[in-house]
């Protein structure tokens, strides 16, 4: 799974030409905006519209809420309900869902390496 740590689909999209798997970082930032900062759900539709013109296959992109490179959602947004909503969205949206260990325990670690807490 390739990573291009950038929120601009025009920048990230061309990586899909050379990588068979790629994380959808632009949608990651939109998930944080919509479910964390409680911005309009229209931002998700707008993001998909924008991504359609820059990615070859949205269904082949990895979609996630937390991962090993970033502070966890609950570190920045202390809202369990919105976190659960973000996870549900990521599990059912276009793309391949990636679930980072510890989310089921509501881990809230900060930037790497603080987001790699022991599971038990």
Range of the domain at 93: 9-102
115 domain-assigned: no
59 domain-assigned: yes
Q: Give the count of domains, the chain.
A: 1
Burial status of residue 56 (CB atoms within 10 A of its CB: 0-12, 13-18, 19 or more): exposed
pTM equals 0.94
Of 27, 29, 32, nearest to 62 by C-alpha is 27
76 domain-assigned: yes
77 domain-assigned: yes
28 domain-assigned: yes
Say what the pLDDT of residue 70 is: 94
67 domain-assigned: yes
116 domain-assigned: no
Say what the pLDDT of residue 119 is: 86
Q: Residue 22 and residue 3: Cα distance in Å, rounded?
A: 6
85 domain-assigned: yes
Low-confidence ranges of the chain (pLDDT < 50): none
Of 97, 119, 99, 98, nearest to 107 by C-alpha is 119
């Amino acid at each position: 799974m390739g990573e291009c740590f950038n929120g601009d689909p025009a920048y990230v999209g061309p990586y899909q030409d050379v990588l068979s798997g790629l994380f959808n970082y632009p949608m990651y930032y939109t998930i944080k905006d919509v479910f964390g900062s409680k911005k309009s759900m229209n931002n998700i539709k707008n993001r998909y519209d924008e991504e359609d013109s820059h990615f070859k296959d949205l269904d082949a992109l990895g979609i996630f809420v937390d991962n090993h490179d970033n502070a966890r959602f609950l570190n920045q947004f202390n809202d369990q309900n919105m976190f659960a909503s973000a996870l549900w969205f990521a599990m059912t949206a276009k793309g391949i869902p990636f679930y980072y260990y510890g989310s089921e325990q509501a881990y809230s670690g900060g930037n790497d390496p603080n987001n790699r807490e022991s599971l038990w």
